[in-house]
Each structure stands twice: as C-alpha cells, then as structure tokens.
Amino acid sequence: MLVELRVRNLGVIEDETIVFGPGLSALTGETGAGKTLLVDAIVLLAGGASDPALVRPGAQETLVEGRFVTRAASGTDDEIVVSRVVPSAGRSRCYVDGRMVSAAALGDVVRELVEINGQHGFHYLLSAQVQRDILDQAGHVDTGPNRALRREIGRLRGVLADLGGDPTSRARQVDLLRYQLGEIDRMGIEDPDEEVALLAEQVTLADATGTIEAAQGIHEALAGDGGGNEAIGAAIALASGHPALSELEGRLDALQDEVADCASQARRLAENLEADPGRLALLGERLAKLGDLRRKYGATLSEVLVYADKVRSQIDELASHDETVRLHQERLAEAEAELSEADRRILEARRSIAPELGRAVEGELAALALPRARFHVEVSEKGDGTPVTWMFAANPGQAPMPLTKVASGGELARVMLATRIAIGRALRSAGASGATDAPGSAEGASAGGEVTGPETLVFDEVDAGVGGEAAAAVGAALAELSKDRQVLVVTHLAQVAAFADQQVAVVKHVVETPEGEQSVARASAVEDQRRVVELARMLSGQPDSPSARLHAEDLLRSKRRTSR
C-alpha cells in the first residue's frame, strides 16, 4: 500500500508530505483547494504525461515521491520508493529505489501497486485481459491448465521444427546430405596430406626430360672416366702408408662410398624416369577435384574428412528421428485435442457466470446512484484466448456498449467500485463456504477470496452527481472495499468522508512572498474535533455552525455503528 506521499512545487502545493494508513482515506477540501493535485501526483508516479505547466510558479521543478510497502510471497514486507521530477523545461526524470528508469518503466512498477479511477484514464478494468480475469475469478475458472497446454503445444512445434519439419523437408535434407557425402567418398581420400605428395610428383613429371638429362650428367660426373670417384680413389692412394693421414684416409673412404651411392641413385633415376603426359594430366585432374572439395567442405583435406563424418552422423540422426517425429506428432495432436476440450469447458463456465456477474454489478450500481444502469458481460465464442467484453449503458434508452467507449470518468469509477464490491462479495462467500469446484479455483485469488490486483485503489469523481442516501451508499461501498485493501477517495461529500478511517483536509491559503501574493495548499490529517469541523464545512459551508457540527458528529457516530 501507499504509506507516504511527498509532493513539492506541484500547482498550489508547495511542499507537503502525507502519511497514509490502511483502510479508507478521504481527501477533502473546497473546490480548487488542490486535493485533486494529490491524485495528479500519483498519476505522475504511474507514468502519466508530465506537463511543465504543473510546476509551481517561480519553481524550477516539481518533485513527487511515493513510498510503498507490499507483502512478499514469503510473508515479509517489501518497501519500494519511487519518484519523478518534472522540470519547468525539458524531460522528466524517474527513479525506482534511487535507480534512474524511464517513465514507462516507472509506470509499469507503480501500476502494479496503484489503481487510479476517475478522470485520469488509468483504469485497471478497461483492460480486456483484466475483464476476462475478473470474470474467471468470479466463476472460479482455472485457466492454468489451458496455459500449460498452450506452452506444451508451442514446445512440441518447436521440437518438430528442429527435427526437420515435415517428411518432405526431411527427405530433401537427407538427399542433400547423401549427395555431399557421396561426392567426398568417391574421391577415396585416405591421406589428408595427399595433395602435398601429388604436387611434388606433378612438379617432377612436368620437367621429366630435364630431370633425366641432369641425372645422367650427375652419374657421369661421379662415376665416369676421370670423374669424382676416380679422383677420390687417387687421393686415398696418396694417403695410404702415412700414419699422419690415416684419419683423412678413413674420411676419404667414406666419401668414396657416398659418391658411389649418389652415382648409382642418379643412374637409377635416369633409367626409371620417363616423360608421362597421361599421368601428368591425371595428377592435374585429381588436384583440381580435391581443391573443389576444399572450397565446398573445408579449408584443408582434414576438414573435409571431418565434415564427411559429421554428415554421416546427421544422416543417421535423421533416419532415427522418423520415429521421434512420429511420437512428437502424436503428442501434439493429443495436446491440441485436450486444448480444444479445455477451451470448450472454459467457454461454458464463462457463459454460465457472466449473467450472474452482470446482475450483481447492476445491483451494486443501483445503490451507487445509477439505478437505471445496465451492465452485462459478453463472452466470445472462441474460448480462452479471446476477449470478454463488459457492456454498459448508464441511462434508459441507451444500447449497452463496451465499457471502454461509453462510461464517463465518474460512471467508470462507480462501475469499478460496483464491480469490486460484487466480485469481492462473491469470492468471500465462496471462500467461506469452501467452494473450490466447477470448474476450479481461480488462479491468483487469495485464500480469503480476495480479488487480485493493485493493493491501493484511488477514486476521483466517484461521488459526482450523487447525494443523500446514494452518497451514503457510495461511502459504505468504499468502506467495504477498504476491508481488503487500501482505498483513497477524493470527495466533496461528508456522507462519504464520514466512512473514512483517515481524513486528509486540503486547505488553500494566500501568503505574501517577495514576488507578491501566492496561493499555497496545505494538506493535513484531521482528527477528533478538527474532523468534525471539516465535515461541518462539507455539510453546510459553515464550519463554525453548531447545527452543522452536531450533524457532523451524528454522521461520525452513525458510521462507526455501521462499521461495527
């Protein structure tokens, strides 16, 4: 709930801090005193449009701060502090727990905490989703299984898409993979370094004639008459018999053997090598095909072979997935059939409860000075995923139309109030009787039958155009609603304010400043005799009137008796 609101330099409000308690709080004051500015401040926290014209004359900026306390799922209280700064020129700045956020993000946070009804346009019940959820709560309709089925259907469709889609798509994919694998396998690659050897052979064959001639020349130079071998033999003979040259003689012997071996190798190369244009052409063709594979499937032959292994695995997986696909398709068909049946049950449940909700809300509206208003709920034919529309006509002769299109601010606030009361009574009655069936307990409803939604409700204009017994009925309805949550109401009617647990009076004063006279609004909680005086003012316009004060005291006593 909202426990503290600070407003600085907003219109006629200079700097006010108001501490709110639980239950019903009434904001009262003369017309133009500035009480609606307090609602404007909450609207700013809820992400409403900022208007530099709201900044108090002579001030640089408006500041609005709110401190909320919410009950966490663990049972502990969480505190949230939000603020918004509206400068006289430029963009506003927003903060949540001291962290700067956008106006939209601030609104998302605050609208989970506060519901504003009246002339400001932040109407919780105008959402089609909320209208449907409230109807489901009234009828104890559990849509959780439907949402679970929709999630399951989405998951199954995703799995089937990952498995290759329909059989035709999978067949095309298998054909492509088999073509790629066949192209690689036909090359018969056994050595990832094959290209290196082929390139070396290609270079040799490309110069076969020159290589043969060079090898023959090498053999002749080493083993021919007067060649290297004979020269080494002569050197060995010269060294023989000289002890000092024995080491050199040994080295010459080894060199002669090496030269003889080189000469033999050169002779064999010259004898075995021959120009082979056919082989050279085959080498070029093989190298070209291997290069084509590398362009398609990997930078090296090693990567090509790795890709081939991956393709084999994919082909095996697709072949084995046929059975997996069949099983998933069967489960998808089952889930879709279950969802269709669940949607049918929900549609029947909604159609069953809609007339009851319509009658209950109409009954509450009659007590709230809308005796001829008509209200009913239209339920779509399409089940869980389609809108539920609340239809409303305020006066006889008017055809009911969607609530979002026809209700004024005051009418909408009273429809909201009537709906809250009707739903709250229905859920509390169901909770007291232990009803949890047909077709299920509403997801999100509390154990005590409380209507879900923001913990703080703000009503402005809810008592517009009413008086007398109708005003008392509005006050009683607000008081009943405040049993489950915090309610703030801006009111001109003493009959409404008397029901409040807390009353805040807003009074406008004229003060002297260096710039001249200025109006300043002060807001303060009024209790005991001060509250009697404020109620007397509301009743007669004469706060000092003894009869008005007696009437005010009587109002307070009667409301205390009613509340007990």
- At 33 the pLDDT is 86
Higher-confidence position of 437 and 410: 410
d(CA 555, CA 479): 14
Q: Which tens digit of pLDDT belongs to each residue from 310-345? A: 999 988 877 777 778 788 889 999 999 999 999 888
Q: Hey, what are 495's tokens?
A: 């009959």
For 451, the token pair is 């209507």
pLDDT bin (cut points 50, 70, 90) of residue 166 is low
- The greatest distance separating any two alpha carbons of the chain, rounded to the nearest whole angstrom, comes to 156
Q: Which pLDDT belongs to residue 27? A: 95
SS3 393: strand
β partners of residue 459: 117, 489
Q: What is the mean pLDDT of residues 347-374?
A: 89
**pLDDT of 445 above 50:** no
Residue 375 has a pLDDT of 92
Distance (Å, whole) CA 396 – CA 360 = 19
Distance, CA of 352 to CA of 341 (rounded, Å): 17
- Confidence category of residue 417, pLDDT binned at 50, 70, 90: confident
Mean pLDDT of 514-537: 89
Task: Give residue-wise pLDDT tens across range 286-298.
Answer: 999 999 999 999 8
- Across residues 71-94, what is the average pLDDT? 88
Q: Are 503 and 407 in contact (CB under 8 A)?
A: no
Mean pLDDT of all residues in 362-371: 86
Phi, psi at 5, each rounded to 5° = -130, 125
pLDDT the model gives residue 20: 95
Span 113-141, pLDDT tens digits: 998 876 655 556 677 787 888 888 778 88
- Cis link prior to 546 (omega < 30° from 0)? no
Separation of alpha carbons 286 and 335, rounded Å: 56
Region 166-172 average pLDDT: 75
Query: What does pLDDT average to over the chain?
Result: 84
Residue whose C-alpha is closest to residue 375's, from 408, 352, 402? 402
Of 74-78, 178-182, 380-384, which range is least confident? 380-384
Q: Which phi and psi (to 5°) does residue 14 adopt?
A: -85, -60
- Domain range list for the chain: 1-113+455-527, 193-299
Which amino acid is located at 394 in the chain?
A
Quickly state the pLDDT bin for 182 (edges 50, 70, 90).
Answer: very high
User: Does pTM surpass 0.75?
Assistant: no
Element (H, E) at 315: helix 301-367
Specify the DSSP class assigned to residue 441: P
CA distance 347 to 380: 8
| Residue 437 confidence class, pLDDT cut points 50, 70, 90 | very low
62: left (phi over 0), alpha (psi -120 to 50) or beta: beta
CA-to-CA distance for 146 and 383, rounded, in angstroms? 10
Distance of alpha carbon 54 from alpha carbon 9, whole angstroms? 8
- Give 80: exposed, middle or buried? Use CB within 10 Å, 0-12, 13-18, 19+: middle
**Token pair 């426990």 is at which residue?**
3
DSSP character at residue 34: S
Q: H helices of 80-227, where?
A: 103-110, 128-138, 144-162, 167-185, 194-206, 208-223
Residue that the structure tokens 């430029």 belong to: 90
Residue 443 has pLDDT above 50, yes or no: no
Compute how many other C-beta atoms are within 10 angstroms of the C-beta atom of residue 318.
17
Tally the C-alpha atoms within 13 A of residue 209's C-alpha that lie toward its C-beta: 1
**Third-level CATH fold of 1-113+455-527:** Rossmann fold (3.40.50)
- Pick the closest to residue 473 from 411, 564, 562, 360 (CA basis): 562
CA distance 513 to 366: 50
* Structure confidence at residue 136 (pLDDT): 85
Mean pLDDT over residues 517-545, rounded?
A: 90
Q: What angle do CA 70, 73, 78 make, to 5 degrees?
A: 30
Does the pLDDT value for residue 447 go beyond 70? Answer: no
φ, ψ at 194 (rounded to 5°): -60, -40
Pair type for strands 374-379 and 2-10: unpaired
For the segment 252-262, the average pLDDT, to the nearest whole number, is 90
Radius of gyration for the alpha carbons in the chain, expressed in angstroms and rounded:
46
**446 has a pLDDT exceeding 60:** no
* Section 488-501 average pLDDT: 92
Banded model confidence at residue 526, pLDDT cuts 50, 70, 90:
very high
The yes-or-no verdict on residue 95 having pLDDT over 90 is: yes
Nearest alpha carbon to residue 56 among 452, 521, 496 = 521
Q: Which amino acid is at 517?
A: E
Closest CA to 63 of 45, 79, 85, 47: 85
DSSP 8-state secondary structure symbol assigned to residue 384? G
Q: What is the mean pLDDT of residues 459-464?
A: 80
Residue of 544 and 210 predicted with greater confidence: 544
Distance, in Å, from the CA atom of 108 to the CA atom of 118, rounded to the nearest integer, reads 19
Q: What pLDDT sits at residue 439?
A: 38
CA torsion 377-379-384-387 (nearest 10°) is -70
357: Cα separation from own chain's centroid: 32
Q: What is the mean pLDDT of residues 514-526?
A: 85
- Answer for the pair 142, 442: CB distance below 8 angstroms, yes or no: yes
With a cut of 80, say whether residue 424 has pLDDT above it: no
Structural element, H or E, at residue 517: strand 516-526
Strand order of the β-sheet with 2-10 is 99-101, 93-96, 77-87, 61-71, 2-10, 13-19, 516-526, 502-513, 24-28, 486-490, 456-460, 114-117
Tokens of 6: 């600070």
Per-state percent for the chain, helix, strand, coil, to nearest 5: 55, 20, 25
